[in-house]
Structure 1
Amino acid sequence: MSAAVSRNRLPIAATAGLLLGAAIMVTPLVWTLLLSFKSNAELMRDSATAFSAPYTLENYRSILVGSSVSRWLLNSLIVSLGTTAGVLILCSLAGYAFARLDFPFRRTLFVFVLLGLAVPEQAVILPRHQFFALLGLHNSYPGLILPGLVAPFGVFFMTQYFRAIPRDLDEAAMLDGASRFTLFWKVLLPLTIPAQATLGVFTFLGSWNDYWWPLISATTSDRFTLTVGLASAQMNYAQTSGLGFLMAQAVFASIPILIVYIIFQKQIVRAMAGTAVR
């Protein structure tokens, strides 16, 4: 009897622990959201007023009308979407080549690509900076996008996904007269949509949240991404409109990420489940 009671209590304890962990993680987000709806003048007196009315949309109106956040948001969208599109194209082609084609030094090249996972970005930042300065690409969209196209994990991920697709499809398509490109474009690529959605979401989030390279490459405010722009506003706090305005900027910056995850969450689950099964 006592053993049965103990077994019944385990799911309850696990659920309670998960709820506690979720509450701890959500609390800073709720606090930020509440502060973003408060008057800056009121928050200067006491930030505890975030839990009581009145609330206002003035901070969000200021973002859309009179601040540089809209420009920074556009820059982040251009860089993140450009990086994501480039990574999906290059990694899909490389993954198909490594998984389905036979060419000299294929295994050696694949190992060389995987070695990129072991090289931290900080180790190559100096030669990268000098190289982009030599080409005159700093303070430009190509200068912000091109480094993100180097994605060893994306190549590995797509290679493994292509390898999991039965080769019988290749033989059947070849017997029907399909070329290599037709086989890739019309037969195999549609089967990798869950993997592409997952890789695309991870790439978009990584590019959207990237701070290190945009901080180095973008030195003028009109090329700041959202992360660099918000950081510059927070470092010059005395020159900003106040705490509520900063919190509104943070909430505004997180909206595109939330939208992307909501749209592609099913594909992410399908890709992860498919990888686990295979």
Structure 2
Amino acid sequence: MNLVPKLYRVTAHVVIYGVPFLASVASIAPFVFMALISFQHTFFVSGNPARWIPRQPTIETYLAVLETPNFLRWVFNSLFVASAVTAMVLLIQSMAGYVFAKKEFPGRELLFILILSGIMIPRAVTVIPAFFIVKDLGLLNSYPGLILPPLAVPLGVFLMRQYMQTLPSELLDASRIDGCSELGTFWRIVLPLSKPGLAVLGIYTFMEQWRDFLWPLIVAQKDALKTLPVGLSVFHTEFRTDYGVQMAAVLLSIIPFLIVFLFFQRYFIKGMTVGALKG
């Protein structure tokens, strides 16, 4: 009689711990695979049979990446563009979210719905109109051309509005009674309390811009203005692909994003938790 409950508990433990373990292995496996390949030359990887674990690890692949013309320039471009877009998105979307969350004005809900409708429009649909606008403004092959179009983030308005709705209005009213201006209330009260929400939006925006390939490919036609995802394509040609160098370049390209995530991890997790608890 006790066999069924015991079997149930064993099965439950296997599911509860086994499924996350398998999911973790599946998530980590590609990075381990890339790391192993990045420390050996291509002829070991593409040989027959292929050698996945390097017998004589080498850093020549990483040196080859760092010695690639304009590689460090591409890294700078990606850092500059992603950082600029992230900073401006945080400022603009937090202001918009504050207005929609704490201000009453005619047509507020309708305007918010119109902004949210932008989330349902595929990005590929807006690329061509955005390109012609940038072209007519003379912003092709320039940093403004790379930075300005990605600032329209309807999801950012939604995230900040939902988070700022959880802030107590009494606290904002108290700051106004104490003589704080509206801008001062936003800057001194709202933004510090919104750090978790800002971290979620900031990491999401930085990640999207860091890995963006299509828009920089279209706008930045000069080699010196290419971002890292576009520049990485030089390691793959029609006639030759150096897998070791290519994997080394990919691993180097994710280091800045990992640093950003680790730096804001505490706020990111808190923001996700608050969003889950308060809907």
Coarse TM-score class (shorter-chain normalised): over 0.9
**Number of the residue aligned with 1:183:** 185
Deviation at 1:33, TM superposition (A): 0.7
What is the distance in 2 between the residues matched to 1:63 and 1:188?
44
**Which of the residues 143, 166, 169 maps onto 1:167?**
169
Change (3 A) 1:46 1:98: same
Q: Which runs of 5+ in 1 are unaligned?
A: none
Deviation at 1:44, TM superposition (A): 5.0
What is the distance in 2 between the residues matched to 1:13 and 1:276?
23
**Number of the residue aligned with 1:77:** 79
Which segment is superposed worse, 136-145 or 224-233? 224-233
What is the distance in 2 between the residues matched to 1:20 and 1:116?
36
**1:139–1:219 contact (8 Å) kept in structure 2:** yes
What is the distance in 2 between the residues matched to 1:137 and 1:143?
5
**Number of the residue aligned with 1:65:** 67
* CA offsets 1:216-248 (integer angstroms, 9 cap, x no match): 1111221111111113432x15356x2211111
**1:63–1:70 contact (8 Å) kept in structure 2:** no
* CA offsets 1:99-125 (integer angstroms, 9 cap, x no match): 122333322221211111111111122
Which AA in structure 1 matches 2:179? G
Which segment is superposed worse, 107-116 or 76-85? 107-116
The within-5 A match list for 1:78-97 is 78-97=80-99
**Number of the residue aligned with 1:112:** 114
What is the distance in 2 between the residues matched to 1:201 and 1:160?
17
**Number of the residue aligned with 1:2:** 3
Which segment is superposed worse, 193-202 or 114-123? 114-123
Change (3 A) 1:151 1:227: same
TM-score, normalised by the number of residues in structure 1? 0.93
Change (3 A) 1:47 1:157: farther
Sequence identity percentage: 36
Which segment is superposed worse, 18-27 or 195-204? 18-27
**2:207–2:257 contact (8 Å) kept in structure 1:** yes
Deviation at 1:193, TM superposition (A): 0.4
- Asked whether 1:127 is paired with 2:133, we answer no
Which segment is superposed worse, 156-165 or 35-44? 35-44
**Which of the residues 208, 211, 232 maps onto 2:210?**
208
Deviation at 1:75, TM superposition (A): 1.0
**1:36–1:245 contact (8 Å) kept in structure 2:** yes
**Number of the residue aligned with 1:238:** 239
In the alignment of these two chains, the number of paired residues is 276
- What is the Cα-based RMSD across aligned positions, in Å? 1.8
Change (3 A) 1:24 1:140: same
The within-5 A match list for 1:131-170 is 131-170=133-172
What is the distance in 1 between the residues matched to 2:180 and 2:49?
66
* CA offsets 1:184-205 (integer angstroms, 9 cap, x no match): 1111111000100110000000
**2:216–2:226 contact (8 Å) kept in structure 1:** yes
**Secondary structure of the residue that 1:238 maps to in structure 2?**
coil
Which segment is superposed worse, 7-16 or 255-264? 7-16
TM-score, normalised by the number of residues in structure 2? 0.92
Change (3 A) 1:74 1:89: same
Change (3 A) 1:46 1:137: farther
**2:45–2:243 contact (8 Å) kept in structure 1:** yes
What is the distance in 1 between the residues matched to 2:222 and 2:210?
18
**Number of the residue aligned with 1:249:** 249
Which AA in structure 1 matches 2:159? F
What is the distance in 2 between the residues matched to 1:43 and 1:67?
25
